[in-house]
Structure 1
Amino acid sequence: MSNQVGIQYLPICHHYELSVVIGKGHSGSSSIFLAKHLPTASLIAIKKINVEVWDRELSYIQNEIILTQQLSHPNILQLHCSFVKGHELWIVMPLMAFGSCRDLIHAYFNSGLPEQAILFILRDVLLAVEYIHQRGIIHRGIKASHVLISKNGQVCLTGLHNSYNTIQNGKKLRKVHDFPIHSVDCLQSFSPELLHQNLAGYNFKSDIYSIGILICELANGQSPFSDMPATQMLLEKLNGTKPKLADSTTVGDFIIDDDGNDDQPGTTQERADVIFFKRTFSQNLHEFTSECLELDVVKRPSATQLLNHSVFKSIKNRPSSSLPSLLQPVTPLTDLAKVPRDLSAEEDDFTRKMSEVSMQEDWTF
C-alpha cells in the first residue's frame, strides 16, 4: 500500500484532502486532483474515476491497476493505493511536479524542448521500455502526455492502459494481432505495422517507432501527423514517410508551398519559420530518430540497443537531477499555498491561473 520508503498510503478516504483538478481523462469521466496526504502533509496526485460511467470497462481499469502494481522500476509511475468511495474509484499516486512533457510544451516550450533535456527524458523512457519489454509487455501508448517528470527530474512512463502482455498461457507470443480498444488519442504514435492490422502482426519494436514519434513531439512541439485525417496518416506511415526534427539542416523539408501545404507530409506545423530553423540538433539525434522510425521492423533497434547509442555520450555521467535546470523558466508544482482552491474551476481556467506548470493534456498513470 506504499511505494515510498517511510510513508504508508492507506486506502482510507479521510487521509486525503483534494485541492484542485490538474488533469482530466477518459472522455471527462475521470479527473486528476492535486491532493494532500494528511498524515504526512505531503503532496500527492489522486485520480478519480466514475465507475458508473465506466461500468462496462471496469475490468479494463482493474487490469491496469494490477499490472502497474506488479511492476517495480524507478522510471515507471507507481501507485500508492486505490479504493472505492461511493461510485468513484480513487487511485493515489506520486505527484509528478513538472507534469507531463506535453504540459511543458504547452507551458513554455511551444517550439520544442532543448536537445539536452530531450536526451535526459529519452534515456529514462528507454530504461522503462527496456524493463517492460523484458517482462513481455508492449506499451502501445508512448507519447508526451504519458511521460511525467518529478520535481527532482525523475522521468516516469505512464499510460499502461493500452499495454499488452505477450505472455499467454505461459508462452511468449512472437507476434501480436490485438488492437487497443481505447486508442483514439494514441493513433499518431502507433507504428505502421500496428495500424496495418495484417497477418504479420507486430511486436515490441512497435514501441520503438512510438519513441521516434515522441522525439519529434518533444523536439518540434507538436506530434507528427496531427494535421491530417487518420486514413492519410496510415498511408503516409505505410509508405515509409519519416517525420523529421525541424532545424537548420531540415529547412528544405519544411518549406510551405504556394497553396499553404507542408511539402513534407506528417511533420510539424505550417509555421515553418526562423524559430525552428535557427537551431541545429546534433547529427546523432537526427540519426537516432530516423532509426526509431525505420519502416522495416527487423532493422529497427531494440530499447537495449538504443540505450547504447552514441547520442547519450554527452549525458553519460550526469544524473537525472540535472534535468530541472534545463526546464527553466518552468518551475515544479510544489507549494499548495499557491494553488487556487476553486474545485469547480474548469481545467483551462486553472491552467491560466497557474504560473508553474500548464496541465492541458490527460495526466494518466
Structure 2
Amino acid sequence: MAEQESEQPLTLAMEFPRGKDQYALSAVIGVAEAGIMHRAKHVNPATRDEVAVSIKIVNAYEIEDIYSLAREVHEAESCDHENMVKVHCSFKNQDQLWIVMPPLPRLSIRSMIRSSFPRGLPENTVAFILKETLKALNYMHEKNRLHQNLGADCLFLDGTSRVKVAFRSLTYDQSSNDLNSSVFPDWMIAPELMIDYRKGQSKATDIWMFGLLALELFYGRIPASNFEEFQLLVLGIDDKFRMLKKNRGVVGSGLFGKIGVFSCFSTKDKKNISKPLGEVLAACLSREPKKRPTTNQLMEYKLFQRCFTEKEISLAKLKKACTNY
C-alpha cells in the first residue's frame, strides 16, 4: 500500500510524451469497440525509469462516433478527481488513436459481478460503490459536465480500494464476445428522452442512469427483460419507497405497496431492498426530471451517511474478484 501511494504523485505530476516510441506495450487486458486495452510502460529515454500505464489503442476509422470519443478523451484529460479515470495524454499514430491512462485493473465492476457475483452485490457493498461514484458524478456536474453513459462497465476498483469512474469510450470488456454488453436497452433510457430525444442529455438523465446503476449493482443486472417489466419495476419501487405523499395517498399504500415490489418477477430476483437504498432508487428513477435530486442532494440521503469498514463492504472479496480472474 505504501509503495502504491508513493508512486501516485509521480504519475500525476509528470508529463507524458505523445509518441508511441516512448511506450512499451505488454499484455492485452481487454477489448472494446474498435480498440484494444494494453498494459504498458512509459520508459524515460534519458533515465530509463519506467512508469506503469494502460494504453487503449483505437482504430480511428472503425469507431462509430469519433466525435463522442474525442469529447470524452478531452474531458478525461482535463478532469482532476480521485474517483475519476484520468487520461494522461492522447495522440495519433497513423490510423490509430493512442489513449494513455493510469494502470487499470483487469476487470470492470460489471465484469467482476458477472464472474463472481451473478446475483448482485451485498447492499453495504452497493452503498460503498454508489457513494464513491456519486463523488465523481458530483465533481462533473459542478463543472457542468455530463457522463451520459454511466454503468457498472465504467467503474473500476484500483489498487488503493478506490472506485474509479471512466467515460465509456475509455472502458473495455474482458471478453471479446461481449462487446455490446455496455449499453442498457433503449427502453431503459430516461422517459424524457423517449418523448423527445432531441432534448439531449442533462444532469437529470445522469441521475436516472445512477438509479439504473444501483439496480445493476444490487441485482447483478436490471431485473426486467422488456419495457413492460421495467415499468412495473420502477412503479413498484416508487410506490413502496417514495418519501413524499402523492395524490394516491400515504407512502407505500398503493397497489404495489400491497402486493410487493417484485411480484411480477421470479423468486430468484426477490432480494429485499432496504429503505435507504429504496429511497435513492425511487428518487433517481422519478419519471419527472425536475423531481430527481441533484448530486449534492443525493449526498444527504441516509444511504450515503454511513461509513463502512472494509469487512462490512466485503472489500477483500472485491479485490480478489478483480485480480484473480
**CA spacing shift, 1:146–1:239, aligned 2, 3 Å:** closer
**CA distance in 1: counterparts of 2:182 and 2:115, whole angstroms:** 24
* Shift, 1:37, TM fit: 3.2
1:125/1:157 contact within 8 Å kept: yes
1:151/1:332 contact within 8 Å kept: no
**CA distance in 1: counterparts of 2:284 and 2:72, whole angstroms:** 27
Identify which of 125, 138, 141 aligns with 1:130.
138
The equivalent residue for 1:25 is: 32
2:236/2:261 contact within 8 Å kept: no
* Shift, 1:217, TM fit: 0.3
Question: How many residues align structurally?
Answer: 285
Identify which of 295, 304, 307 aligns with 1:312.
304
2:129/2:163 contact within 8 Å kept: yes
1:284/1:310 contact within 8 Å kept: yes
Corresponding letter in the other structure for 1:217: E
2:122/2:313 contact within 8 Å kept: no
The question of 1:300 aligning with 2:292 is answered: yes
**CA spacing shift, 1:91–1:320, aligned 2, 3 Å:** farther
**CA spacing shift, 1:320–1:100, aligned 2, 3 Å:** farther
SS in 2 for 1:291: helix
* Shift, 1:296, TM fit: 2.3
* Shift, 1:212, TM fit: 0.8
**CA spacing shift, 1:60–1:213, aligned 2, 3 Å:** closer
TM-score for both structures, normalised by structure 1? 0.66
**CA distance in 1: counterparts of 2:98 and 2:220, whole angstroms:** 32
SS in 2 for 1:46: strand
The equivalent residue for 1:214 is: 213
Corresponding letter in the other structure for 1:302: T
**CA spacing shift, 1:31–1:121, aligned 2, 3 Å:** same
* Shift, 1:128, TM fit: 1.3
Structure with bigger RCO (C-alpha 8 Å, 6+ apart): 1
Structure 1: stretches of 5+ with no match in the other structure = 163-181, 256-262, 265-269, 334-355, 358-365
What are the within-5 Å matches in structure 2 for residues 217-296 of structure 1?
Answer: 217-225=216-224, 227-228=225-226, 232=227, 237=231, 241=235, 252-255=260-263, 263-264=264-265, 270=266, 272-273=267-268, 280-296=272-288
Per-residue deviation, residues 98-156 of structure 1 (Å, max 9, x unmatched): 63210211221111111222112111211111121122223221111011221211112
Corresponding letter in the other structure for 1:141: N
The question of 1:192 aligning with 2:184 is answered: no
Matched residues, percent identical? Answer: 25
**CA distance in 2: counterparts of 1:283 and 1:134, whole angstroms:** 28
**CA spacing shift, 1:205–1:184, aligned 2, 3 Å:** same
2:119/2:219 contact within 8 Å kept: yes
**CA distance in 2: counterparts of 1:250 and 1:111, whole angstroms:** 25
Corresponding letter in the other structure for 2:35: S
Structure 2: stretches of 5+ with no match in the other structure = 1-8, 171-179, 239-256
1:98/1:149 contact within 8 Å kept: no
**CA distance in 1: counterparts of 2:151 and 2:72, whole angstroms:** 18
The equivalent residue for 1:92 is: 100
1:49/1:88 contact within 8 Å kept: yes
TM-score for both structures, normalised by structure 2? 0.74
* Shift, 1:33, TM fit: 1.6
SS in 2 for 1:138: coil
1:98/1:150 contact within 8 Å kept: no
**CA distance in 2: counterparts of 1:126 and 1:327, whole angstroms:** 22
* Shift, 1:198, TM fit: 6.5
**CA distance in 1: counterparts of 2:258 and 2:53, whole angstroms:** 42
**CA spacing shift, 1:221–1:299, aligned 2, 3 Å:** same
